[in-house]
Amino acid sequence: MTKAIPAAQPQTQRSQPYTLMELMICAAAHQLEDGKTAVIGTGAPLAAAMLAQKTHAPNLIILFEAGSMAPILEKLPISVAGSHTQTHALKHSSMDDIMEACQRGMVDYTFLGGAQIDRYGNLNSTMIGGDYARPTVRLPGSGGASDLAALCWKTVTIMPHNRRKFVPAVDFITTPGYLTGPGAREAAGLPRGSGPYKVISTLGVMGYHPESKCMQVESLHPGVTREDIIENTGFEMLFAGDLQITAEPTAEELRILREEVDPQGKIIQK
Amino acid sequence: MLENQKAVEPIGELFQSPDVEAAREFFREKSRVMIDKRATVQEAVARFIHDGDYIATGGFGSVRIPTAVLHEIVRRRKRNLGFAGHSTTHDFQILAAGGVLDRCDIAYIVGLELRGLSPNGRRLIESGAVRTTEWSNASLAWRIKAAAMGIPFLPARVLLGTDTERFSAAKEITCPFTGQKLLALPALFPDVAIIHVHQADIYGNAQIEGVSIIDYDLAKASRRLILTTERIVDTDTFRKRPGQTSIPYWLVDAVCHVPYGSYPAEMPYEYTSDEEHLSAWIEAEKDPAAFEAFLEQMIYSTRNFDEYLQASGGSERLARLRELEPLKRE
């Protein structure tokens, strides 16, 4: 039933062709504000943060959960603890220090991935299957994700959009979204006012309905229809009243991504 | 999966006792004498790591890990070890390869960050051969911090409402001052920690460069601590710049001189990771028979870490990894 994902190929009236990953990275970068703090994982989230830093958010403070504080990144890191996360940092600190900054309320954004997401933005990165003791597929577990989504103000998730990933109920809530709906995070004891903010998928950019806390599409990627979203989502997806088309990457964004952020194409060619 | 707004009652197994009185009794007897603690990796493992022990590694999976000691644990065919799996990648991969674990606290295992998943690590956990309890990086870090502080738990605001909480061994509590719901994280006192450092003296005073992850708290929380070090230096190095001492000697039980000791993982300011060799591990793990042969060749039939380094590329490759390291000292 899943339809081939469109928009991977260049379309008419476009100055330059771009990959779907490039579009997603640019859309993710646009979510980050200048002068704010963000704990970032490797891969597409980091490419987005680097792009934001080199375009509209030069004073974005990047933090890594292993302890690097405000580095100036030269090369895309493979590990969130590696030397490439630590170049020209203001402080080489520790994991407890970064996580405690999040718990104090000093960290604005975090960018995460996951194997499954539900309508409330709950994420699974622990296991696929029905029995915890004998999983069909064992995945890594929380890492820092559950902590960061609990403690940072806004959580942005980047993931492919299909029915295996956008599911009615995740097999395991590794990382809290809005849990069971409005008020559930606060009732559980999680910090007030924090929570899922955006999802950047291969089909569109989603936010959450202010009252119901259910995921809703805010913009469709160029060439994607509502039907594509519905077909590829395992739960009832809402659509915002003023549904937009995701902004295409500008020539300058593409140049920076290809020449400065990821010259080897490790992420953007995926 | 979870019912709306009910308190979660975690069902995970608590592998290490948070009994602070027992910990104090142990630390009361721990030597404070500044004596020469140099040992070979073989000696340190024979003396301090016993079947059934609960161990923890410093660093972060593919960054500054104590590879030589992990290999020796596998080579000596240790059994029934517990393990603190806080963002562990290649370190977990080595222990999983040796089948030395029977229980594991999990924040992050099986995964190799951007490199993918460990096929053998997955098989091991999916088979049910290892008892597991779920945590997260912050909760494990704070469990270790509680032990370092000598208190039985630390309250925190993470995991609440998730299945990670349900399969943890934490407990929900109410703050006596604010009424806030909190998660009590039980102190984690490992039997043995193994940490790879940049330089140490013969007594165990040690310096780590770059991010320290959880290693100072881990050094304090662990009953025994084995250091492996890139270099042995004079004690004067620390006395001249005491602000740069990461771990003081009195926490340390053994100092093993192991140049390139984090290989094939990276060592900030020293050498970068050997991606080719890390890929060879993943490739070999895909087929259990091929992996057995790989382990036989690389670990069981090598006598020590030097032989492993030779078998995986030797001095020319190591020199190249040193050149490629992005962090340079002034």
Same domain, B129 and B257: yes
Is A253 considered catalytic here?
A: no
Complex-level ipTM: 0.96
Of A238, A60, A122, A95, the closest CA to residue B138 belongs to: A95
Range of the domain at B175: 152-186
Whether B165 maps to a domain, the answer reads yes
Whole-number Å distance between alpha carbons of B62 and A12: 44
Q: What is the pTM of this model?
A: 0.95
Chain B CB within 8 Å of residue A250 CB = no
Q: Is the pLDDT of residue B233 over 60?
A: yes
Same domain, B117 and B39: yes
Chain B CB within 8 Å of residue A130 CB = no
Whole-number Å distance between alpha carbons of A4 and A215: 22
Helices assigned H by DSSP within A78-170: 95-104, 145-151
Of A89-93, A262-266, B285-289, B315-319, minimum mean pLDDT range = A262-266
Which value, in Å, is the radius of gyration of the alpha carbons in chain B? 20
Chain B CB within 8 Å of residue A212 CB = no
Whole-number Å distance between alpha carbons of B203 and B196: 15
- Residues of chain A scoring pLDDT < 50: 1-13
Task: Enter the DSSP assignment of A5.
Answer: P
Catalytic residue among A65, A218, A248, A253: A65
Percent of chain B with pLDDT over 90: 96
Same domain, B180 and B257: no
Model pLDDT, residue A269: 86
Whether B144 maps to a domain, the answer reads no
Pairing state between β A127-128 and B153-156? unpaired
Model pLDDT, residue B6: 64
Whether B37 maps to a domain, the answer reads yes
Whole-number Å distance between alpha carbons of A90 and A69: 6
Whole-number Å distance between alpha carbons of B18 and B226: 22
Looking up tokens 């820092």 gives: A144
Whole-number Å distance between alpha carbons of B35 and B202: 8
Partner residue facing A94 (CB), from B1, B182, B211:
B211
Partner residue facing A141 (CB), from B109, B209, B266:
B109
B83 - beta bridge partners? B55, B104
Model pLDDT, residue B22: 98
Q: B87 to chain A: nearest residue by CA?
A: A143
Q: Which 3-state string (H, E, C) describes chain B?
A: CCCCCCCCCCCCCCCCCCCHHHHHHHHHHCCCCCCCCECCHHHHHHHHCCCCCEEEECCCCCECCCHHHHHHHHHCCCCCEEEEECCCCHHHHHHHHHCCEEEEEECCCCEECECCECHHHHHHHHCCCCEEEECCHHHHHHHHHHHHHCCCEEEECCCCCCHHHHCCCCEEEECCCCCCEEEEEECCCCCEEEEEEEEECCCCCEECCCCCECHHHHHHHCCEEEEEEEEECCCHHHHHCHHHCCECHHHCCEEEECCCCCCCCEECCCECCCHHHHHHHHHHHCCHHHHHHHHHHHHHCCCCHHHHHHHCCHHHHHHHHHHHCCCCCC
Whether B10 maps to a domain, the answer reads no
Same domain, B126 and B228: yes
Best residue of B158, B322, B325 to probe chain A, by most A CBs closer than 10 Å: B158
From residue A142, alpha-carbon distances to A48, A149, B104 in Å are: 22, 10, 14
Q: A122 to chain B: nearest residue by CA?
A: B162
Question: What amino acid is encoded at B241 in this protein?
Answer: R
Number of domains in chain B: 2
Looking up tokens 């599911």 gives: A167
Model pLDDT, residue A15: 56
From residue B64, alpha-carbon distances to A245, B260, B279 in Å are: 45, 10, 18
Same domain, B182 and B193: no
Query: Nearest CA to CA, how far is B43 from chain A (Å)?
Result: 30
Pairing state between β A137-138 and A127-128? antiparallel
Whether B53 maps to a domain, the answer reads yes
Whether B11 maps to a domain, the answer reads no
Best residue of A126, A136, A146 to probe chain B, by most B CBs closer than 10 Å: A146
Q: For residue B319, count CB atoms less than 10 angstroms from its CB and return exposed for 0-12, middle for 13-18, buried for 19 or more.
A: exposed
Chain A partners of B156 at a C-beta cutoff of 8 Å? 103
Whether B70 maps to a domain, the answer reads yes
Same domain, B215 and B313: yes
Model pLDDT, residue B3: 43
Of A32, A27, A102, the closest CA to residue A64 belongs to: A102
Same domain, B262 and B113: yes
Same domain, B82 and B68: yes
Chain A CB within 8 Å of residue B308 CB = no
Looking up tokens 């022990």 gives: B53
Model pLDDT, residue A2: 40
Instruction: Report CB contact under 8 Å: B136, A134.
Output: no
Same domain, B35 and B69: yes
Instruction: Report CB contact under 8 Å: B214, A94.
Output: yes
Predicted confidence band of residue B8 (pLDDT cuts 50, 70, 90): confident
Same domain, B173 and B226: no
**A49-88 burial: b if 16+ Cβ within 10 Å, else e:** bbbbbbbebeebbbbbbbbbbebebebbbbbbbbbbbbbe
Same domain, B130 and B156: no
CATH of the domain at B299: 3.40.1080.10
Partner residue facing A143 (CB), from B107, B126, B159:
B107
DSSP-based three-state secondary structure for A69: strand
- Sequence-distant (≥ 6) Cβ neighbours of residue A213 within 8 angstroms: A120, A178, A181, A182, A195
* In chain B, residues 140-199 whose CB comes closer than 8 Å to chain A: 141-142, 145, 156-164, 167, 172, 180-183
Tens digit of each residue's pLDDT (9 = 90 or more) over B47-98: 999 999 999 999 999 999 999 999 999 999 999 999 999 999 999 999 999 9
Model pLDDT, residue A1: 36
Model pLDDT, residue B7: 78
Same domain, B59 and B177: no
Chain B partners of A183 at a C-beta cutoff of 8 Å? 5
Looking up tokens 């974005």 gives: A60
The residues spanned by each domain of chain A are 20-261
Domain A20-261 has CATH 3.40.50.2300: no
Q: A169 to chain B: nearest residue by CA?
A: B1
Partner residue facing A78 (CB), from B108, B114, B268:
B114
Instruction: Report CB contact under 8 Å: A142, B160.
Output: no
DSSP-based three-state secondary structure for A244: strand
Of A261, A68, A96, A31, the closest CA to residue B147 belongs to: A96
Chain B partners of A195 at a C-beta cutoff of 8 Å? none
Looking up tokens 């992005």 gives: B326
Whether B156 maps to a domain, the answer reads yes
* In chain A, residues 133-172 whose CB comes closer than 8 Å to chain B: 133-147, 150-151, 169-170, 172
Chain A CB within 8 Å of residue B212 CB = yes
